Structure 1
Amino acid sequence: MQAMFLRAAALWALAAGVPAANAQTVWPNGAKAAVVLTYDDALTSQLDHVVPELDAAGFKATFFLANVAEGQVERWRKVATGGHELANHTIFHACSKASYPADPRYVSEAYTPASMLREIAQQNVLLHALDGKSRHGLATPCGQSLAGGTDYLEDLRKANLVTYVRGVVDTPADARANVAKADPMHIPSRGFGEGATAEKMIAYVREAEQGGGWAVFLFHGVGGDYLTVPDAEHRKMLAWLAAHRSEVWVTTLQEALDWAKTHPGK
């Protein structure tokens, strides 16, 4: 899984681009930056550790669901009821066959752009059944947007199936300053996994504060599963965010984008 993540990062380093900003986003209540916590793959450790910790701190996050286990459907519905954002990560999480061993039916080479968009549309149906919402964002599997060797992002944009696409590579701080200028099909993020510490995560937030923009975190496992952030470090980071509520606005990815659209930079 670590190799998968590194390959995905390399692909997005080439593909993702957010135009440089010339102004800062004005966040609610004078916050210096927005913090968006996103979690991929509908993992059990997120239900067992992350959701209770977020709820205890009073924070809302974004969960990109793929391969949802039948026995966890009601748990994810409860996550949505609790005010967290559920978002699209496709149904089968098809990455390139070079990323990691997978069923050959569910590698991106076996898809076409049309079949990938159909799968995304079908996942939206599941999400609607869970949260009752008619619009959802997307994180591409492994940060890759190829289906049968063809990039499908422009087709996805035209189809209007999702409100945004989150990638797996971050952009420089100055390019994150004015969120309203971000291309919704190329939302950056910074991944944290094995070896992540609260200090590194807090430093990312401080970087966003200096630019007046946002810090979009990408997590997988927390205290379990894979690409795992230690639960203790994750809790320390949340405690720091709770102690600095006047400085940072912790919100979902969709809410941050919606706010930025209606509150232009200064």
Structure 2
Amino acid sequence: MSRPGIVKLAVCGALAFAATATGSRADAGTLWPHGARAAVVLTYDDALDSQLDHAVPELDADGFKATFFLANVKQADVPRWRAVAAEGHELGNHTIFHACAAKTVPNETRYTLEDYTTAGILREIAQQNVLLTALDGRDRHGFATPCGDSHVTDGDYLEALRRSGLVTYVRGVVTTQADLSGDASQVDLMHIPSRGWPEGTTGDQLIDFAQQAVAGGGWAVFLFHGVGGDYLQVSDAAHRQLLGWLKAHRREVWVTTLQNATDWAKAHPGPVAR
């Protein structure tokens, strides 16, 4: 995916979040395990080298499990991703070729969403599941829409994806204040929220996002690309600062994979939902 397209996507996601950040707190949040006040999910897109080199070792050092959405997997990295799964991290489906709209990736001449039908994109998702199962041995996988876009030549493919049963959930690229303060059990599994981060994001900004979830009783789903390298990167220092804060607040915040968070939330609705 081109760097300008990804930067544009992250900025749009941040603006969408800011536009809704003045919303009111929901009456009751999710009943997270062990009395935690919020859940934090760390997700990483595109199977980048910097995630293997920096993010994974830092997560493992602090005992946190995260979700990695894989696309364009390199042959040389197959053993490393298999090891990531063996450590208890979640591997998710991000398609094989990471097709985005042509306007988002203007330098790409192939594998744009304009070249796909619903049937075609579902075939690619199904094939990527084969790779994921070969890596992690699991028969359930979540999905993240490349570039946050689910529109192909014959329309939005998400409802067809829901009916297909190929994936357990779909993570998008927008978070609202309601997500940070509401009951996660009520979320549509085809529209899981997340917030992406532009380059230059500080550790304090990352921590603030998690703190808003703690205050609201909901969840904060982070969307990272590069960590100390590659594109749309957050610095290694900012990433470590966030992990340090999470480690210091283990009693308040449940850090888990996206599959674990959605499974728990659906099985433990908040008081209002009950």
| TM-score w.r.t. length of structure 2 | 0.90
Distance 1:217 1:11 in 2: 11
Distance 2:159 2:136 in 1: 27
**Preserved contact between residue 176 and residue 214 of structure 1 (Cα < 8 Å):** yes
1:25 to 23, 30, 34: 30
1:218 to 215, 220, 223: 223
1:2-59: per-residue Cα shift (whole Å, max 9, x none)?
443434775996xxxxxx9653101111111000000000000000000000000000
**Is 1:254 matched up with 2:255?**
no
**Preserved contact between residue 71 and residue 93 of structure 2 (Cα < 8 Å):** yes
Distance 1:242 1:10 in 2: 30
1:114 to 108, 112, 119: 119
**Preserved contact between residue 104 and residue 110 of structure 1 (Cα < 8 Å):** no
Deviation at 1:193, TM superposition (A): 3.0
SS of residue matched to 2:102? coil
Distance 1:247 1:175 in 2: 14
**Preserved contact between residue 9 and residue 168 of structure 1 (Cα < 8 Å):** no
Aligned to 1:17: none
Deviation at 1:173, TM superposition (A): 3.5
Greater CA deviation, 97-106 or 186-195?
A: 97-106
1:100 to 80, 101, 105: 105
Distance 2:11 2:170 in 1: 15
SS of residue matched to 2:228? coil
Aligned to 1:145: 150
**Is 1:69 matched up with 2:74?**
yes
1:169 to 168, 171, 174: 174
Aligned to 2:199: 194
Label 1:9 to 1:160 Cα distance change in 2 as closer, same or farther (>3 A): farther
Letter aligned with residue 6 of structure 1: K
Aligned to 1:34: 39
**Is 1:184 matched up with 2:189?**
yes
Aligned to 2:91: 86
Distance 2:141 2:180 in 1: 24
Structure 1: runs of 5+ lacking an equivalent: 14-19
Residues matched between the structures, number: 260
Label 1:260 to 1:239 Cα distance change in 2 as closer, same or farther (>3 A): same
RMSD: 1.8
Aligned to 1:4: 6
Structure 2: runs of 5+ lacking an equivalent: 17-24
Distance 1:105 1:82 in 2: 35
| TM-score w.r.t. length of structure 1 | 0.93
Distance 1:132 1:242 in 2: 29
Letter aligned with residue 121 of structure 1: A
**Preserved contact between residue 38 and residue 253 of structure 2 (Cα < 8 Å):** yes
2:245 to 240, 247, 263: 240
Deviation at 1:168, TM superposition (A): 0.7
Label 1:2 to 1:33 Cα distance change in 2 as closer, same or farther (>3 A): farther
1:113-167: per-residue Cα shift (whole Å, max 9, x none)?
1000000000000000000000100000000001125110111011111010001
SS of residue matched to 1:105? coil
Distance 1:77 1:131 in 2: 6
Label 1:69 to 1:193 Cα distance change in 2 as closer, same or farther (>3 A): same
